[in-house]
Amino acid sequence: MSVTLPAPTAHTPLFGTDAPLCDPKHWALDPTLTFLNHGSYGACLHEVLAAQTAIRTRTERDPVRFYKVEMEGIFDEVRRSLGQFCNCPADCIAPAMNATVALATIFYNYFINHPVKPGDEILVTDHEYSSGVNELTRLAAQHGFRVVTAKIPFPINSLEQVTEAVLAAITPRTRLALISHITTTTSLLFPIQTIVNDFNRRGIDVVVDGAHAPGQVEVDIAALNPTYYVGSLHKWFSSPKGTGFAYVRPDHQTNFRTLALSSRADKVRPERPLFLRDFDYMGTADYSSLMAIPATFAAMNRLIPGGWPAIRAHNHALVLKARQIVCDATGLTPPAPASMVASMASLILPAAPAHLASRRTIYDDPLQDILVDSHRIQVPIWPWNKNPTFRIMRISAQVYNFANQFRMLATALTAELSSERPAIR
């Protein structure tokens, strides 16, 4: 079953005269919501959701044949699609539910196949997403290694500050590093090629956390040449939820297994590598989100003229414009140069006054609740545990967004920040 995506049409926004590049009606988002947070969980095209439904329907027509006969061929196509998108060999890709599961799988295998000694070090930065650091902290208690954290400044002035901080944290005991391609909270595009080149030169294995990269920037794994690379595809790639992958360099694929071995793990199949077989099937589950990856790749690529390169260029330009709109209205200052921004941009907000510290929130900060409830604007706001004097707001730009949405955010944010600090009489 295939669904044809209508050609992009003109869209008349409720506010102002500018329009999104792509009609928001192609997406399943609530039309009453100003959605400025594509970076957290992404958003799916109706066409992609229909493709996923078609896969579910195909599964149920003959579940035995689907799981026993058809799955391998479908996953081969998934790998080919991802290999094309990320420029890497298809047979180096392990499908995964998301980057968190991919990281846990890598760490599990790494410490089995590369035993560490007490006092050995695993290097991270203080801008890493918590799930990877949490997993390393748990494993450190079991294996005796130390998690060493490189301190990256924020606000930041240059790419060189990242490189210098990471390389300065390397010691003779460093065995593995976890480095983001694009950071989650601070939304910084790291100089990942320079960093990986240095780790390779030193013979240190490196995991690149690319959860936010595919779809935001061009991902060229062959050129990057990391030991491992993980991605989440529900974000900027815009696949259904539950889609990610791990790239495992060929020299690290031996004895690289899934976290849970399926009933097929002990079957002898000389014609198909164990690395592929393990990740083809991990027990009975709904694999339709992963199997919809090729449909997502194709649908997004024809969404606007110019395909994926045009999407990335548009979103980069729009988020820089959006950042300036908010800064001009609020008096905030961009905390990073444009060279470190892709399709997301983070801004530093002052911490709420002490007398508001006990406010309840269903998100991560009460100000986010207010923006949703009072202004119908969905944008993430987080406390920054590295510096309790400020919070971080992260804005995302996707082709369904347009400049006046960010003007609305600027107006609402100005009003709400002022109400947090009423004039002293």
Q: Where are the domains of the chain?
A: 24-44+306-420, 49-300
> Of 14-18, 139-143, 396-400, 407-411, where does mean pLDDT reach its minimum?
14-18
User: Which helix (DSSP H) or strand (DSSP E) does residue 391 occupy?
Assistant: strand 390-396
CA distance 230 to 103: 7
Mean pLDDT of all residues in 346-353? 94
- Dihedral sign, Cα of residue 262, residue 264, residue 265, residue 266: positive
CA distance 47 to 81: 17
Confidence label for 243 from pLDDT (cuts 50, 70 and 90): very high
Residue 21 φ/ψ, nearest 5 degrees: -70, -30
pLDDT surpasses 90 at 80: yes
- What per-residue confidence (pLDDT) applies to 232? 97
Q: What is the pLDDT of residue 380?
A: 98
At residue 43, does pLDDT exceed 60?
Answer: yes
CATH architecture classification, 24-44+306-420? Alpha-Beta Complex (3.90)
pLDDT digits (tens, 9 = 90+) for 105-135: 999 999 999 989 999 999 999 999 999 999 9
pTM exceeds cut of 0.85: yes
Phi and psi at 147, nearest 5°, equal -95, 115
Do domains 24-44+306-420 and 49-300 share one topology? The answer is no
pLDDT-derived band at 4 (thresholds 50, 70, 90) equals very low
What integer pLDDT is reported at residue 2 of this predicted model?
32
Residue 341 has φ and ψ, to the nearest 5°, of: -115, 135
Given the candidates 3.40.50.1970, 3.40.640.10, 3.40.50.300, 3.40.50.850, the CATH classification of the domain at 49-300 is 3.40.640.10
> Distance from CA of residue 314 to its chain's centroid?
18
Q: pLDDT at position 9, please?
A: 34
Q: Does the CA dihedral 165-235-302-2 come out positive or negative? A: positive
- Encode pLDDT of 146-195 as tens digits: 999 999 999 999 999 999 999 999 999 999 999 999 999 999 999 999 99
Rounded Cα–Cα distance for residues 47 and 27 (Å): 8
Rounded Cα–Cα distance for residues 91 and 281 (Å): 15
Give the CB-side neighbour count of residue 409, counting CA atoms within 13 A. Answer: 32
